[in-house]
Chain A
Amino acid sequence: METHAVETALRWIVLVPLIGAAVNGLLVRRMPRRIAGLLACAAVGVSFALSVKVVLRLVGMDAEQRLVTDTLAPWLGLGPLHVNIGFAMDQLSAVMALVVSGVGFLIHVYSLGYMAHDAGYNRFFTYLNLFIFAMLTLVLGENLLMLFVGWEGVGLCSYLLISFWFNDEANAAAGKKAFIVNRIGDFGFLLGMFVIGTTLLPELHHGEGVFSFQVMREYAHLLGPVATLAGLLLFVGATGKSAQIPLYIWLPDAMAGPTPVSALIHAATMVTAGVYMIARMNFLYVLSETAMAVIAAVGAVTALFAATIALTQNDIKKVLAYSTVSQLGYMMLACGVGAFAAGIFHVMTHAFFKALLFLGSGSVIHAMSNEQDMRLMGGLRKKLPVTWWTFLIGTVALAGVFPFAGFFSKDEILWKAWSQGGIGLWLLGFLGAGLTAFYMMRLVSLTFFGENRASDEVKHHIHESPATMTMPLVILAVLSLTGGWLGIPHFMGGQNHFETWLEPVFHQEAAGHHEADLVQELEHGALGETVAVLATSAHVTHDVIEGLDHAGEEAMEWTLASASLAWALLGLSLGTWIYTKRQGLAAAGQRFAGGALHRVLLNKYYVDEMYEAAILRPGYAVSERVLFRTVDAGLIDGLLVNGSAILVAIVSALLRLFQNGRLRFYAWVFASGAAGFILYLTVSG
């Protein structure tokens, strides 16, 4: 085992927000509000600064050696099972840590303004810091178990923050739903961990940490036979955390929490944990074509599915929630076709513009005196200028318009889907992209254009948000514009720094698939066929084939990119036009097929209702009738508890017969016993 470079700053990246949470949490009633908020922001700021510092150190290292570790203490040492409490940052964790702490910092600052009038201000910042701690543990954990600790931690914080205004039962229910659905996914995650653990444990040398990413990667070849099983089980966890079909149902309900929570947890960071995990475990997934195919399919279908639902929602945050589910589908699609770097790229850009959109919607909601129904909004363009402009930038970025961030990341994914996955997957993604543009402009039109449809009282209070809220919006808008430039693809003349940076992490996948691409092109492409004939007859070198193959590829990339752009622009313009000039068409669309289509979409395909009927109600029935009545009341109460009491009563009733107060009876018993004993002694002795 090589010793890696040690960096003690890593622990502080993770622990400083924990300290912030502890201080705010323990002094929640005593702490003055301003200090609580500033303390929390400072904690995350420190994390971000330290992250930058460590990343700079990584930048200075040799590309193949970029890994710093910080082991705090051994955690488990049970026979062959060794797990450490430790952190590690490589290229992948670096990206995630920067995004989490950076965007997290901006959202903390935003919350200073947004939650200013809330009674639970201190508690909010406690939970928010706690979340950052958990998320950083997740992305910086040096082994799968640390990742899981963070995984659970963010689940907990998600619950705490969704049901932040718990006095309303609906909010509490939403929090519970999120936690429980996540828990179901976590069960799959645990089973996946067990599969990996039991497969690897017998083969390790003494002291090697079985779940350490470095170690697992070394022994990855042993995971071949269980790769599909473990991969799918881990993916179940990912569908829960990253809101894919079938466990996405908690995310729209999670909008019950305060908007900064929606921005941070349910857009930028927590929900991407599943994508991170899959990228992290890439050495496992590449061993199983089946698992990858499933991931890609689920991702693509979810992307389109959620987009269709977003078309009809009237709550501004619900639209964004389904949009998040949809975008997460794209990230999964990328991972599924082996384009892990593209997936992570989209994680980053999505964090920027989705957080921006959520925070912007928060600004709108704040201005509209907590109104969230878009049908009662409108015309906010003039009254909320900063919000308007930043929101527009976010929308355009999400829609994937050049040169904004979303274009590069989404385009990369679609290209990889086409070239490595097949036309079906690409088509699902492509359609989804168009719908994305459309429903986003629907949102923008209803909110910012036209006449304001609110009551006079609300209209009166409409005002732009304070600087603590608008500054993060501006910063995120800048990032939404420029963030994609880190990954300008080769065919457009860029060097795709992002992919290059991440390449050592996904090393074998790049090599493997490139070979596959080559073979595919050679077998199926028209140009390739000609080349193949020439090559076999003339023993043309590898380089020449690659060069020709590249030319064909590039042409395809340009075609697809242009198609995506055009499609997105079409969606944007249609959306704007219908919802500003031709509302009648929109209304007609709603009435289409007797209103049935609209109703299905508005009710999210009745998925929740189906789960209720197919799973929840039978579950209740079993719990009630079998577990409660039969087992609990009948068996445990009746047989064991009452039964033992009855047994005691019976025995004592029998014994009581000896206590009849009659002296001669006592004498008799005494004599009989003594006689019996003596007889026994005599006969046996």
Chain B
Amino acid sequence: MEVGLTHYLILAGALFLTGTAGVLTRRNSLIMFMSVEIMLSSVNIVFAAYSRASGDLSGHVFVLMNFAVAAAEAAIGLAILVEIFRLRRSVNVDDLNSLME
């Protein structure tokens, strides 16, 4: 069967769900972060697929933006993580509960 738009979308969907599962399940904040990166990638695939389907390259531009944002996010997020580690000596997300009522 010819590989069509739908195939790519299903791939992206599955990736997205995998990423979500990772975010919800893991307690290690670093791995949670990586799961978020997976989710972002899945979105990139969607944009690229639609861009191919419609012939408009604007999708590619958005993917570029996404790269930049992901990079920025990774940088800041990891910096925060490092800071928290310095304070709490742990990257386990369950230990970060001081905002509770």
Interface-located stretch among A237-245, A470-478, A639-647, A661-669: A661-669
B23, A660: Cβ atoms closer than 8 Å: no
- Main secondary structure on chain B at its contact with chain A? loop
A668, B24: Cβ atoms closer than 8 Å: yes
B23, A663: Cβ atoms closer than 8 Å: no
B93, A663: Cβ atoms closer than 8 Å: yes
Distance A109 CA – B20 CA, assembled complex (angstroms): 99
Encode contact with B along A650-675: 1 for CB under 8 Å, 0 otherwise.
Answer: 00000010011111100110010000
B54 located at the interface, meaning its Cβ lies under 8 Å from any Cβ of chain A in the complex: no
- How many B residues, CB 8 Å from partner? 12
| B24 contact from A656, A661, A667, Cβ within 8 A | A667
Distance A656 CA – B93 CA, assembled complex (angstroms): 20
Distance A664 CA – B94 CA, assembled complex (angstroms): 7
A667, B23: Cβ atoms closer than 8 Å: yes
B10 located at the interface, meaning its Cβ lies under 8 Å from any Cβ of chain A in the complex: no
A659, B20: Cβ atoms closer than 8 Å: no
B93, A660: Cβ atoms closer than 8 Å: no
B residues 59-101 in Cβ contact with A at 8 Å: 93-94, 96-101
B20, A671: Cβ atoms closer than 8 Å: yes
Cβ of A2 to closest chain B Cβ, rounded Å: 81
Q: Which residues on the B side are within 8 Å of A659 (C-beta)?
A: 99-101
Encode contact with B along A189-227: 1 for CB under 8 Å, 0 otherwise.
Answer: 000000000000000000000000000000000000000
B7 located at the interface, meaning its Cβ lies under 8 Å from any Cβ of chain A in the complex: no
Q: Which residues on the B side are within 8 Å of A671 (C-beta)?
A: 20, 23-24
B52 located at the interface, meaning its Cβ lies under 8 Å from any Cβ of chain A in the complex: no
- How many A residues, CB 8 Å from partner? 10
Q: Which residues on the B side are within 8 Å of A661 (C-beta)?
A: 96-101
Q: Which residues on the A side are within 8 Å of B20 (C-beta)?
A: 671
- Most chain A CB within a 10 A radius of its CB, from B97, B98, B99, B101: B101
Distance A664 CA – B95 CA, assembled complex (angstroms): 11
Q: Which residues on the A side are within 8 Å of B24 (C-beta)?
A: 664, 667-668, 671
Distance A667 CA – B94 CA, assembled complex (angstroms): 12
15 A–B contacts from the bound complex (CB under 8 Å):
A656-B101, A659-B100, A660-B100, A661-B97, A661-B99, A661-B100, A662-B97, A662-B100, A663-B97, A664-B27, A664-B93, A664-B94, A668-B24, A671-B20, A671-B23
Q: Interface of A with B (CB < 8 Å)?
A: 656, 659-664, 667-668, 671
Q: Interface of B with A (CB < 8 Å)?
A: 20, 23-24, 27, 93-94, 96-101
Q: A661-B96, A661-B100, A663-B97 are in contact. List 9 more A-B contacts (CB 8 A).
A: A660-B97, A660-B101, A661-B98, A661-B99, A661-B101, A664-B94, A667-B23, A668-B24, A671-B23
Q: Sort A-B residue pairs by CB-CB distance and give the 5 closest, nearest first.
A: A661-B100, A661-B97, A659-B101, A661-B99, A663-B93
